Amino acid sequence: MYRDSDRQKLFSRRAAILAGGKVVLLSTLVGRMYYLQIVEAERYRTLSDENRINIRLLSPPRGRILDRFGVPLADNEQDYRAILISENTPNLNYTLDMLNQIIPIGSAERRRIGRDIKRHKNFVPVSVKRNLTWQDVSKIEVNAPDLPGILIDSERSRKYSYGEDLAHVLGYVAAVSTNEATGDPLLELPGARIGKAGVEKYHDLVLRGSGGNSQLEVNAFGRVIRELSRQEGQPGAEITLTIDIGLQRMITRRLTGQSAAAVVIDVHNGDILAMASTPSFDPNTFSRGLKPSIWKELKSNPMAPLTNKAIAGVYSPGSTFKMAVLLAALDKGVISPSTKFFCKGYIELGNAKFHCWKKYGHGNIAARMAIAQSCDVYFYEIAKRTGIDRIAEMANRLGLGVELGIDLPGEHTGLIPTKRWKRGALDTPWYQGETLIAGIGQGYVQVTPLQLAVMTARLTNGGVAVVPRLTKAVNGENVPINREPDRTTENLKLPKSHLDLVVGAMTDVVNSPYGTAFKSRIEESDFVMGGKTGTVQVRRITKAERKSGVVKNRDLPWEDRDHALFVGFAPVGKPRYAVAVVVEHGGGGSSVAAPIARDILLEAQRRESAGAYEIPEPRLRKS
């Protein structure tokens, strides 16, 4: 049994331990309070203010895109949308049913609205319907008492005034995908749009502008109480293009119904006055939200409306390549301008025959006449003597098979083959028969319509290696013609006599009765053009078909018909414009592509005579 004294001692010891524990706990609590209220006071004061003041980023207006004369091509327009605040809606289904009587809301949209409401707090607005007309807005406002929780909100949307006429040049904007999020806060904003193609993509960063901000007072739950201040962002840069929308629209209408491309370039400064690719698409459908059915239709169209054929379509150039072959032969001293070859309708190499388009041949023929009449045998002969590597070197100098650096995404380089290329790509040697085929612009040779236009410009401006460009100015400041030091415009170092021979031959193609494009000549003396036709086979003609001579393009399926090409310049004597036209599976270059090029060059010159274009200072050839 414990004695009273022992019991007293035990009680005192336990009380002391308990009291000590309380002192420790109280000291810890006091220390923590001191740390929070004294040491960390400034930090938590800041957090308290940030919880009360919410800074939100404001999207700036996207920069406009103009044509060379200041005509708006891509602009922003006020757009309206219906939004829903679910906490103000006693019965969601009833509200949506009532709204459906004013503007159609499909079942898929209703499911999407339901998902958005579940993902957000009930006071956060949810988009119900975008791209409302003013009539829709008026109806909703009038019926507002029957639409609790439905409000009208305004936003800016991208508008392309000329739709399909410039879709491949301008491109379009659309919602930001996950892999396009670069950390730019502007791309995180609801409804953010980014350039997906064309000029919109190439100049996306400068077109975006810089964001503003809005200071909002919010409560602990994030509900906005009031706006304290607002600072608007800096609008995106205004881009002025070299495009003439009047000429562009004329060309797209001229190409209607064809799978085709056409490029018009100023031979002196490289300005792209028009760049058309058909069929096209409406870029407005992308910026507003593309329906799956429309996307499927665009993707399945065999004429590839989503492809800018002017820079991404690659084609065998056919006889439009013959100027490059001739210049290579002249430059290497393989032939002289007066050198003649006899064309009997074909040339033999080993056991193979290489045919001329003219069954019974052209007889004895020299360089200028060979271009004018497009004699294949002549070019088989000079290609064989010149060699593929020398031909490739000249073609590259003229802008074929190389990257031209056009200020537009998606440019393809095409291909000018060499012996080294074939060994590396196919692990087989180069055969002389392949040189003959390349001599008439077929086989492995692949170029773009833009490259053909640039080649024509360099041939006709005195041998100056102009570089094509689409951007004329940014925010009113002119962009230099040569944008990069390593792409400085320079002389091609071709003798004037050689260039004069080629230009004279191209003049004969159109204006001499024996020329292949004589029927497509311009008869107005001030607007006379020169050029070169090209017809490219997309299927091999069998021996039996060649003997019968009855196979015509119109008798074949569309995809088996020849491509029609034409390159041209105008006016003769003082060239200012170069054009390249490619019509996929169109048939003959002289009958299909040449008339289109004639109409384009005639329109360009008429616009100049009416004062549409300023006359550039001529670029002098370097000595």
- Statement: residue 456 has pLDDT above 90: yes
Q: How far apart are CA 296 and CA 174, in angstroms?
A: 17
206-261 pLDDT, tens digit per residue, is 998 876 666 656 655 555 566 566 667 688 899 999 999 999 999 999 999 999 99
Segment (H or E) for 458: helix 449-460
Q: What is the pLDDT of residue 293?
A: 85
pLDDT at 439 over 90: yes
| pLDDT range class, residue 622, cuts 50, 70, 90 | very low
Would the pLDDT of 47 be above 60?
A: no
Q: Rounded CA gap, 248 and 565, in Å?
A: 19
pLDDT tens, position by position, 83-124: 887 877 888 888 888 888 888 888 888 888 888 788 766 766
Distance CA 543, CA 566 (A): 28
166 — pLDDT class (breaks 50, 70, 90): very high
Single out the catalytic residue among 86, 280, 316, 319: 319
Whether 19 has a pLDDT exceeding 90, the answer reads: no
Q: How far apart are CA 441 and CA 319, in angstroms?
A: 6
Cβ-based neighbours of 482, under 8 Å, separated by 6 or more:
467, 488, 489
Q: Which helix (H) or strand (E) holds 216?
A: strand 212-218
Q: Going along 312-362, which residue ranges are E strands?
A: 341-343, 346-349, 352-355
* Mean pLDDT, residues 34-61 taken together: 64
| CA neighbor of 457 nearest in space, from 620, 623, 576 | 576
**Domain 56-85+95-141+152-241, classified CATH 3.90.1150.10, yes or no:** no
Torsional sign, CA 5, 10, 16, 18: negative
Residues carrying CATH 3.90.1310.10, the chain: 56-85+95-141+152-241
**CA Rg, the chain, in Å?**
35
Lowest-confidence pick of 205-219, 310-324, 531-545, 607-621: 607-621
Instruction: Compute how many other C-beta atoms are within 10 angstroms of the C-beta atom of residue 100.
Output: 13
Contact 435, 387 (CB under 8 A): yes
Using alpha carbons only, give the angle 358, 359, 360 rounded to the nearest 5 degrees: 100
The answer to whether residues 92 and 226 touch, using CB atoms and an 8 Å cutoff, is no
What percent of the chain shows pLDDT beyond 90?
A: 56
User: Helix, strand, or coil here: 65?
Assistant: strand
Q: Are strands 193-195 and 173-175 parallel, antiparallel or unpaired?
A: antiparallel
CA distance 283 to 163: 6
**Nearest residue to 398 via CA among 317, 486, 333:** 317
Give the tokens for residue 277. 């690719």
Tokens of 243: 């495009």
And the tokens for 75? 């602009």
Q: What is the pLDDT of residues 540-566, one digit of tens each?
A: 666 555 555 545 667 788 888 899 999
What is the tens place of the pLDDT at every residue in 399-411? 999 999 999 999 9
Q: What pLDDT was estimated at residue 8?
A: 64
Please provide residue 193's backbone torsions phi and psi, each rounded to the nearest 5 degrees.
-125, 145
* 29 or 477, greater pLDDT: 477
Residue range(s) in the chain whose domain bears CATH number 3.40.710.10: 245-278+308-609
Q: What is the pLDDT of residue 53?
A: 64
Residue 277's region, left for phi above 0, alpha for psi from -120 to 50, else beta, is beta
C-beta separation of 385 from 332 below 8 A: no
Summarised one tens digit per residue, pLDDT across range 291-313 is 788 888 889 999 999 999 999 99
CA 188 remoteness from chain centre? 25
Angle at which helix 107-119 crosses helix 92-100, to 10 degrees, equals: 140
Q: In a 3-state reduction of DSSP, which class is residue 534?
A: strand
Which residues lie closer than 8 Å to 431 by C-beta, 6 or more apart?
A: none
Q: Do residues 475 and 237 touch, judged by C-beta distance below 8 A?
A: yes
CA dihedral 397, 400, 405, 410 (to 10 degrees): -170
The three-class DSSP label of residue 365 is: strand
CATH of 245-278+308-609, one of 3.90.1150.10, 3.40.50.1000, 3.30.43.10, 3.40.710.10: 3.40.710.10
DSSP conformational letter for 42 = H
* Res 143: pLDDT: 84
Q: Please say if 319 is a catalytic residue.
A: yes
